[in-house]
Amino acid sequence: LLLSGGRARADAPPGAIEYPVQPDPTKEQGRLILDDGGYGSRSQFESEIRWRYPTDSLDSSWSMTPLASGHGIITPSGLHFERHHGGIPTIDPATHTLIIHGLVDKPLRLTMADLRRMPSVSRIHFIECSGNGLTEWEKPTLKTVQGTHGLTSTSEWTGVLLSTVLKEAGIQDSAAWILAEGSDAAVMTRSVPIDVAMNDAILAYAQNGEALRPEQGYPLRLLLPGLEGNTHIKWLRRLEVSDKPFMTREETSKYTDLMPDGTARLFTLEMDAKSVITFPSGAMKLPRPGFYEISGLAWSGRGKIVKVEVSADGGKTWTEAALQEPVLNKSHTRFRMPWIWDGNEAVLQSRCTDETGYVQPTLPELVRVRGTKSVYHLNAIQSWHVAANGEVTNVHA
Amino acid sequence: LLLSGGRARADAPPGAIEYPVQPDPTKEQGRLILDDGGYGSRSQFESEIRWRYPTDSLDSSWSMTPLASGHGIITPSGLHFERHHGGIPTIDPATHTLIIHGLVDKPLRLTMADLRRMPSVSRIHFIECSGNGLTEWEKPTLKTVQGTHGLTSTSEWTGVLLSTVLKEAGIQDSAAWILAEGSDAAVMTRSVPIDVAMNDAILAYAQNGEALRPEQGYPLRLLLPGLEGNTHIKWLRRLEVSDKPFMTREETSKYTDLMPDGTARLFTLEMDAKSVITFPSGAMKLPRPGFYEISGLAWSGRGKIVKVEVSADGGKTWTEAALQEPVLNKSHTRFRMPWIWDGNEAVLQSRCTDETGYVQPTLPELVRVRGTKSVYHLNAIQSWHVAANGEVTNVHA
Amino acid sequence: QTETSASDAAAARTVAALPEPVGNLEEPMPPSPVVEDAESDAAPGLDASFGIGRPATKEEIAAIDIDVMPDGSGLPEGSGTYAEGETVYVEQCASCHGDNLEGIKETGAPALIGGRDTLATDKPLKTVESYWPHASTLFDYIHRAMPLHAPGSLSADEVYAVSAYILGRGGILPEDAELNAQSFKEIEMPNADGFVEDPRPGAM
Amino acid sequence: QTETSASDAAAARTVAALPEPVGNLEEPMPPSPVVEDAESDAAPGLDASFGIGRPATKEEIAAIDIDVMPDGSGLPEGSGTYAEGETVYVEQCASCHGDNLEGIKETGAPALIGGRDTLATDKPLKTVESYWPHASTLFDYIHRAMPLHAPGSLSADEVYAVSAYILGRGGILPEDAELNAQSFKEIEMPNADGFVEDPRPGAM
Ligand code: HEC
Ligand code: HEC
Ligand SMILES: [Ca+2]
Ligand SMILES: [Ca+2]
Ligand SMILES: [Ca+2]
Ligand SMILES: [Ca+2]
Ligand SMILES: [Ca+2]
Ligand SMILES: [Ca+2]
Ligand SMILES: [Co+2]
Ligand SMILES: [Co+2]
């Protein structure tokens, strides 16, 4: 089957195919069914894209999800944020294998076909890079919610519970950590505590109902619900069970959190509860006073969100927002609150609480303990200033 | 932003871009981040596509979701089933409007920008064409679950509750039906009962976190959770409130169910509970005896699925399958059951029960009442025969 | 050990060694809400009215309010005869629906007539003649959707005429029939009483 | 009214006027499960063992078990000196990390040395020298990921050598150091005690 109709062209946004706009679509037949070859693409009028923070290295870089134009809780797979340390490998699933070894009774070699035959689970979970917001510690730096918060996305992931495979291999009593290793150019590695591995970790081969996207680790990635994104090793090729952590570069040189006293926290794995208002948000302009539905996302690496409060006066007063069902464990949760903008200056904030009782902190509260040099795990309340002319900007308030 | 790397080529499956496979991806950098222009595509190794039933007219035709290779409950937007009566129109959202008139106090004209400013909801719902399975009444006809059941898909839909807009317009006391009209070449119309409209109907502009796909009604479609797919008018341009149904061609000539006595049922809108095993399913071959996870989908237009039972002996004995959380209202629900195939002939069936207590019927039960000429609403238990050589075929059993 | 540490030579770096975020980083700008209409500037409320959108004008409604209902509402001015309809049919419909309105499989166009007394058999033929409960549906559908490759192109006169022709060929109207908004309402369809309510839930 | 009904002329049609589904309709065939390995044909159970996959061989494991741990496990045979490492560094690393290991902003390659005593300041410089708790990480990372555009291309000797050079330039090893699996384990990193456990939850 070939594409018979329109084609990707320079004038269509990425991911779209350009077709002639019909002057009156009720007066002529539309384009034919399956002229897309049987796999559709987005409308040529939709142009939001992931955005790359301009790191010096293109090989080790990240791109961020356009949260401002998101809807609901699912992130379209084409807009899922990315973090690569050695580019995106192209791997034939027919030759890819996963090897499990170390402190196990039976070292195992599994093909992708093997994994697809094992008992599976599907779960809707967010992933967030713990570097999400790293530009925002000292002063408001990026303009949009894509820049300040775009290193998180939510998908429905399907795969085999890691515990299923570990039980098949037979883990030994002394097992305490597992090294997960990717087959990208960085041969990315992280150590995973055994209790996480035996709890809800997933060897994921599918995302949003189809195979993983290449950027998300095709054909196989590790999913560690609630843990910092860097640990969700993509293009997974190896799992080594050990009694000790491996102290890889990504868990020592990076992804450790430098405190004001010069010590650094190791293995800060869980993502604390966090929320952000995505509408209205930075770099938007409200055209006039009137009704607006404030909307945003809240999530916690420690369970479900139980409450989101919204303030329009910079945190002086708070109102509880509505949580859109389903409210899922370790997933983005959409919140909404009706708001009438009276045309005066306002500062919009959201604050979430998760089922452990943890309340999202203010930035001063966080900085008081952690200083501004810890890079990772900035989960403070975000403030958007609405000017009298309707312009929305990123502020520290 | 232009695509700088690979491009869609004749040799890549639809929706994929072909890149050179790396002999050892750990030994060279992968392709650069954002070489896709900021919107990703699926892997070149994934080739499942929607399939068109070979109707004589290409303009009025349908394509079916490849359920056999689905995962979880979300259907990838690129694989959502389609039904078009006049092709797929290409509509500029900047010029598209929705007009609400008839028995309302204030006839309204809403732009897409207006709709996006109104209070919104996001909900995960299936849509099923009531013609799903129409080839299967008399004898097993199509070979695969895509052919027998592929006219159903599930997405997270976002939009404005229809009730919100109707309240804004002020519906009058005599209002009983609403005509919904599309702006495709068929100017597709259906009459919707007012109680459905005021309950959970959605004016949907987003699907799976981004704008609707063109095939799904971009920029605006009606979503009537639980009702037959034909009523979910796409490319929606007009809503007329009336005291009577409009008796359009699609609710008289079509989408009426002919009974054996020659009478036909009108406005059979709700989709009764239904389930199907998607793995193993027709045209697959089990390579050898051993462990297989039976998996499938269940859904009901009347609420949540509460139970799915699976039989491997053609309905003689049943075992309750596990329902994958979240189990949502009027949504596909994934069920799973571990199974050891002993190498003997088997007939696999699934049977679901919804929260109203309705139990999915057998085909003989359904045919006893409805005959085999009613075309629509075939929701009977599906049987897959597993031969001793592992071949799985569509049977009536 | 001559050199001890290169720390003096090393440029001071801050967190994550990020490039200095000075100037325009080319973050894509998100869409802002758009308000097109000055009219609805009325003070909005939270529950009932949001002050969003504007009244639809009579002209805007009339331009797309094309439906025709069983009680005849929506039928436009104009008229057409069986004879005029035959011309329309031969020129614009026969290539798909066949010279004898029998349908042509290859085009996907169904038979428009025939099939009376087949509905309770095992080869039911559902056509305008045998199945359709309301003549209004015929006007409505032809007017909005036919001919397939030029939908909406027929004048009201032409739709009246071709409807008279189809109903005439189907033995529902005499060949000298002329249809207009008044006479249309009087058409009796053979299968008008053939439809029943949905007995579900509660029945199969 | 000469013609009454065209029902005789009309071809009998069954439900939905579908084309006769005869022969191959070109339904795409779904993927079947694939079993590659005869070995695991053992009778599978439902709970513990699924009989899926096969044992990984020693050779398969050895080919990818490349990690090096703080206790030195995983360190391969071989050795290398500061002097040899200088050659490796100049030829394969300096273009990105700089002649003085200070990093070159434009390449994204960070400084490898320097930064001692800066960790508690407001311009912390985190390098191998100032920050890394374990020398094993240096071997492990260079071996798997550097040089950036030819990762995995260095021999064990070369990695020992360039590690000796980097640690020598950082004042952690003397310039006459030779590294091998034994001497590597004895390296004391300046910031070895600089790391603390995650106090969360319970602390901010
Ligand atoms: C190019 C082919 C073509 C032409 C020309 C054409 N039709 Fe059709 N017609 C179709 C097809 C195909 C359908 C079925 C459409 C569908 O089911 O979505 C159809 C359906 C119909 C139906 C509905 C039949 C039913 O049982 O539901 C009527 C009535 C009709 N056409 C009348 C006309 C008239 C009157 C003309 C000329 C003015 C015309 N057609 C010209 C192809 C055509
Ligand atoms: C083409 C550029 C390039 C070359 C050549 C190169 N590097 Fe790197 N190096 C980088 C980049 C970029 C990073 C950061 C990668 C990342 O963060 O994902 C890096 C990171 C490192 C790190 C980790 C630093 C830290 O603080 O975490 C070490 C150690 C290192 N390189 C050593 C070497 C050695 C030894 C060589 C030569 C054998 C070498 N590099 C050659 C670009 C290069
Ligand atoms: Ca958009
Ligand atoms: Ca696939
Ligand atoms: Ca009307
Ligand atoms: Ca009537
Ligand atoms: Ca090892
Ligand atoms: Ca040490
Ligand atoms: Co961390
Ligand atoms: Co129906």
Question: Is C191 within 8 Å of chain D by CB?
Answer: no
Q: How confident is the model over B320-351, as pLDDT tens digits?
A: 999 999 999 999 999 999 999 999 999 999 99
Residue of A nearest to C19 (CA): A55
Report residue B182's pLDDT band, with 50, 70 and 90 as the boundaries.
very high
- Nearest C-alpha of chain B: how many angstroms from C87? 23
What pLDDT does D15 receive? 40
Pairing of strands A392-395, A383-386: antiparallel
What pLDDT does D6 receive? 46
D169 vs C contacts (CB less than 8 Å)? 3, 5-6
CATH architecture assigned to A97-256: Alpha-Beta Complex (3.90)
Report residue B219's pLDDT band, with 50, 70 and 90 as the boundaries.
very high
* CB of residue D107 inside a 6 A radius of ligand 2: yes
Specify the CATH superfamily of domain B97-265.
Answer: Oxidoreductase, molybdopterin-binding domain (3.90.420.10)
Q: Which of D3, D5, D125 to mutate to test the interface with C (most CBs of C within 10 A)?
A: D5
Q: Which domains does chain C have, with CATH numbers?
A: 77-184 (1.10.760.10)
Which atom of ligand 2 is found nearest the CA of A60? 18
Shortest-distance ligand to the CA of residue C141: 1
D15 vs B contacts (CB less than 8 Å)? 134, 137, 258, 372-375
Ranges of chain C with pLDDT below 70: 1-24, 37-48
* CB of residue C161 inside a 6 A radius of ligand 1: no
Q: How confident is the model over B86-111, as pLDDT tens digits?
A: 999 999 999 999 999 999 999 999 99
d(CA C138, CA C101): 14
The helix or strand, by DSSP H or E, that contains position B363, with its residue range, turns out to be helix B363-370
Q: At what angle are helices D156-169 and D135-145 packed, to 10 degrees?
A: 130
The distance from CA B270 to its chain's CA centroid, rounded to whole angstroms, is 14
Q: What is the mean pLDDT of residues D103-129?
A: 96
What pLDDT does A57 receive? 81
What pLDDT does C25 receive? 79
* Closest CB to C27 among A55, A143, A292: A143
Q: Which chains touch C (3 or more CB pairs under 8 A)?
A: A, B, D
Give the ipTM: 0.94
Shortest-distance ligand to the CA of residue D172: 8
d(CA B13, CA A214): 14
Report residue A4's pLDDT band, with 50, 70 and 90 as the boundaries.
very low
- Taking CA atoms only, the protein residue closest to ligand 2 atom 10 is D109
Q: Say whether B274-395 and B97-265 share the same fold.
A: no
* CB of residue D30 inside a 6 A radius of ligand 2: no
- With CB atoms and an 8 Å threshold, state whether A33 touches B218: no
What pLDDT does B11 receive? 79
Q: How confident is the model over B334-393, as pLDDT tens digits?
A: 999 999 999 999 999 999 999 999 999 999 999 999 999 999 999 999 999 999 999 999
Report residue D79's pLDDT band, with 50, 70 and 90 as the boundaries.
very high
* CB of residue D164 inside a 6 A radius of ligand 2: no
Residue ranges of domains in chain A: 1-47, 97-256, 274-395
Closest CA to A72 of B202, B268, B123: B123
Q: Which residue has the tokens 């009347």?
A: B302
* CB of residue C68 inside a 6 A radius of ligand 1: no
* Closest CB to B263 among C66, C148, C195: C195
Residue of A nearest to C50 (CA): A291
Mean model confidence pLDDT for chain D: 88
* CB of residue C93 inside a 6 A radius of ligand 1: yes
* Closest CB to A27 among C28, C32, C152: C152
- With CB atoms and an 8 Å threshold, state whether A89 touches B22: yes
Residue of A nearest to B119 (CA): A293
A246 vs D contacts (CB less than 8 Å)? 67, 69, 140
Question: Is B176 within 8 Å of chain C by CB?
Answer: no
| Gap from CA of D148 to ligand 2 centroid (Å) | 6
Using CB atoms within 10 Å of the CB of residue A195, give its burial: 0 to 12 exposed, 13 to 18 middle, 19+ buried: exposed
Q: What is the mean pLDDT of residues B39-67?
A: 93
Pairing of strands A177-182, B305-311: unpaired
D109 vs C contacts (CB less than 8 Å)? none
Q: How confident is the model over B222-244, as pLDDT tens digits?
A: 999 999 999 999 999 999 999 99
- With CB atoms and an 8 Å threshold, state whether B93 touches A45: yes
- With CB atoms and an 8 Å threshold, state whether D50 touches B56: no
What pLDDT does D5 receive? 46
- With CB atoms and an 8 Å threshold, state whether A53 touches C153: no
Residues 6+ apart with CB under 8 A from A195: none
Which atom of ligand 2 is found nearest the CA of D128? 26
Of the candidate ranges A138-152, B6-20, B32-46, D45-59, the one whose mean pLDDT is the lowest: B6-20
Q: Which residue has the tokens 């619900």?
A: A225
Which atom of ligand 1 is found nearest the CA of C95? 5
Show which of residues 346-375 on chain B sit within 8 Å of chain D, judged by CB atoms: 372-375
Distance from the first to the final alpha carbon of chain D: 91
CATH number of this structure's domain A274-395: 2.60.40.650
Q: What is the mean pLDDT of residues B108-129?
A: 97
Report residue A349's pLDDT band, with 50, 70 and 90 as the boundaries.
very high
* Closest CB to A29 among B87, B292, B324: B87
**Residues facing D111 on adjacent strands:** none
DSSP A86-149: S-B----TTT-EEEEEESBSS-EEEEHHHHHHS--EEEEEEEE-TTTTGGGSSS---SSHHHHH
Question: Is A310 within 8 Å of chain C by CB?
Answer: no
Q: What is the mean pLDDT of residues A308-326?
A: 98
- With CB atoms and an 8 Å threshold, state whether A15 touches B72: no
What pLDDT does A59 receive? 80
* Closest CB to C137 among B101, B237, B247: B247
DSSP C164-200: HHHHHHTTSS-TT-EEEHHHHTT---TTTT-EEE--T
What pLDDT does B48 receive? 97
* CB of residue C100 inside a 6 A radius of ligand 1: no
Q: What is the mean pLDDT of residues B211-229?
A: 98
